Amino acid sequence: MKRKLLSRVSAVAMASAMMVSMFGMTTFAEGGVLGGDGSEAITNVDITKIVTTDGKSYAPDETFTFKVETGEKTTYYDEVVYAGVPGGLLPGAGADFDSDAELNNSYTKIGTLTTDASVFEGPGIYHYVVSENAGNFAGITYDNAVYDVYLYVYGNGDEMYVGNIATVKQGQEGGKADLTFTNDYGKNNGKLHDLTVTKDVTGNQGDTEKEFEFTITITGDEDNERFYMDVEGRVYTLVSGEEQSFGLADGESAVIYGLSEGDKYVVTETDYTETDGYTTSVKVNNNDAAEALTTDEVTMGAADNNVVFTNNKEVSTPTGIIMNIAPYIILVAFAGIAALVFLRRRNREF
């Protein structure tokens, strides 16, 4: 009886000592620590997921996931840390982004990790390593940050629970940091590009005030992509695979932002040949201009694209009857001059 009582007292004392130690640490930590005095079980850990853009790209329609590995035995604040036990910390829900989100320069979602204290055989601090699973979503540079995660396990036997968690970003001065992963989606990585469509009107009968009608279809390299288009201050949202109409007058441009290397586009102008007498040609990037109404399908590639549609309307100056008899008038004029010269010479002879 005395041994059982002594065992329980020892377990309570050990848990209390760990709580006090952890409580002391939380008093000076600005981030990277979960739990207060360690008396309540932590079953879920939030991960902040951020995607940054240039402010003209919609959020990717993508779920970002995370990887948990067991860490090695080590020390943390001079405390012994055990190697992580498989299953003690597990990936939970991914950070789920939606392209329907309002246009912004950054987007934030929350993913989770889950704890399972039943796998631990005794109290202590256990080491895990957390990182992001690098995907292949077009245009994104994935965060390669790695975090050491320390689970503070309390209790004895069947009553084990995770009462505190400390997270440390590897390679970061200052140590503790909240679990945050930031992906670059065209803000600084140069992986997103712009498409500019320009209208040029030429010829002595070209109407530079007329608005010419176009359609554009962007087919994204990823599912459910949306694209921001600015036409001289008029804003459109393009949906991947759907046709969008817009108008341009001479010298005006439409700019579509946030296209990745594999995205495709088709731009077509309405035919004004029979109705207005225009001849239309199109020039794509550095290619020669060709008489056509459409670009056909073009893949963006790893650079900005420029498309110029030129409408030319040239009309000959009307000549009328005066131009038809002009040769005869010239002949008569020469004859008159010749006669005048002849008469002057004759007068001199007399």
pTM (predicted TM-score): 0.81
Query: Mind listing the pLDDT tens digit for each residue in 304-340?
Result: 999 999 999 999 877 655 555 556 556 656 665 665 5
pLDDT of residue 36: 82
Q: How far is the C-alpha of 267 from the C-alpha of 216, rounded, in Å? A: 5
Contact 148, 89 (CB under 8 A): no
State which amino acid sits at residue 67. Answer: K
Instruction: Compute the average pLDDT of residues 252-277.
Output: 98
Categorize the per-residue pLDDT at 341 as very low, low, confident or very high, splitting at 50, 70 and 90: low
Task: Tell me 319's DSSP state.
Answer: -
* Distance between first and last Cα of the chain: 167
pLDDT of residue 5: 38
Q: Classify residue 8 as exposed, middle or buried by CB count within 10 Å of its CB (0-12, 13-18, 19+).
A: exposed
Domains 2-184 and 193-312 equal at CATH topology level: yes
State which amino acid sits at residue 281. Answer: S
Q: How far is the C-alpha of 150 from the C-alpha of 21, rounded, in Å? A: 14
CATH of 193-312, one of 2.60.40.1140, 3.10.20.740, 3.40.47.10, 3.90.420.10: 2.60.40.1140
Average pLDDT of the residues of the chain: 88
Q: How far is the C-alpha of 311 from the C-alpha of 309, rounded, in Å? A: 7
Q: CATH for 2-184?
A: 2.60.40.3050
Instruction: Compute the average pLDDT of residues 48-77.
Output: 98
Residues in the chain: 350
Categorize the per-residue pLDDT at 60 as very low, low, confident or very high, splitting at 50, 70 and 90: very high
State which amino acid sits at residue 338. Answer: A
Q: Where are the domains of the chain?
A: 2-184, 193-312
pLDDT of residue 328: 53
CA distance readout (Å), 318 to 248, 273, 326, 336: 31, 21, 14, 29
pLDDT of residue 340: 59
pLDDT higher than 90, residue 23: no
Instruction: Compute the average pLDDT of residues 201-207.
Output: 97
β-strand partners of 235 = 230
Instruction: Compute the average pLDDT of residues 126-136.
Output: 98
The secondary structure element, H or E, covering residue 238 is strand 234-239
Compute CA 36 distance to the chain's CA centroid, rounded to the nearest angstrom: 39
Least confident piece of the model among 20-29, 181-190, 294-303, 341-350 = 20-29
